[in-house]
Amino acid sequence: MASERLAIIATKGTLDWAYPPLILASTAASLGVETAIFFTFYGLNIIHKQKMKQLKVAPVGNPGMPMAFPPSVKKTPVAGQLAGLMEAIFPGPPQLMGVIPGMTDFMTAMMKKMMKENGVATVEELLELCKDAGVKLIPCQMTMELFGYKYEDLIDGLEPPGGAATFINYVLEADKPMIIFV
Amino acid sequence: MASVTADKTLDTSGLNCPLPVLKTKKALEELQSGQILEVISTDPGSKADIPAFCQRTGHELVETVEEGGKYIFYIKKK
């Protein structure tokens, strides 16, 4: 059978953007495709021991973000009615609200709660599932040096740091190479 | 009611994409070829995702049952 390789490039270091590469990679590997994720620039934060716990979702510059409250909040008597009213008035948090101190943390907490209540896996869980499924997790050498991240700062079970040429070569060695940029 | 009997049941109720597929793959690893895995899911996405998983991996989707907001799949391991 012709070999198939899927390579995903993860460049974003926010909670919401950590999901697409991890979901696609773990699923592709489960479907029998050889899969790798190349973590570069802020994407490195997803595999950074400390920073992975502090991934946030930013309301600023994110007009697509819905004003969504977790089901448990909506069921609470007074807070739930307020939340329903907010959702009815604003399709999303007004961009100006994003600059209020603590707003990013608040939206992050809401998002995490909503994900939990909807049965969405955490970033840590998805990383474990990726490793279990045999996804190769490759940190980018150049951005590690740029940001001052040491290999020990990153989670266990990673491939050795690689550069662009190593990565492109890894993908193109397959009969059917695929790249997804996130 | 399904017409097939399962050798093993995996309940993924409450879990969302991609967990039902990932857990199905793992559960199939524990079965012998020809045995049937029953997968219960509440994720509407799994309605399309489980058949896609089977098509891709070569396991046979013997039957699909939809009842009371649950999707139940019977998968025969290849």
Could you give the ipTM of this predicted complex? Answer: 0.79
Domain membership of residue B2 (yes or no) is no
Kindly state the helix (H) or strand (E) to which residue A70 belongs, with its residue range. none
B4 vs A: CB within 8 A: no
Give the full edge-to-edge strand order of the sheet including B36-41.
B8-11, B36-41, B70-76, B60-67
Q: Is B17 a catalytic residue?
A: yes
**Cβ pair B58, B78 in contact under 8 A:** yes
Taking an 8 Å cut-off on Cβ atoms, the answer to whether B22 and A129 are in contact is yes
A:B CB pairs within 8 Å: 34
pLDDT digits (tens, 9 = 90+) for A25-63: 999 999 999 999 999 999 999 999 999 999 999 888 888
Taking an 8 Å cut-off on Cβ atoms, the answer to whether B19 and A119 are in contact is yes
Residue type at position A43? G
| Delimiting residues of CATH 3.40.1260.10 domain(s) in chain A | 4-55+122-181
Q: How far is CA B64 from CA A28, A55, B22, B72, in A?
A: 23, 39, 18, 6
The superfamily (CATH) of domain A4-55+122-181 is: DsrEFH-like (3.40.1260.10)
**Active-site choice (B4, B9, B16, B17):** B17
Confidence band, pLDDT 50/70/90 cuts, at residue B1: low
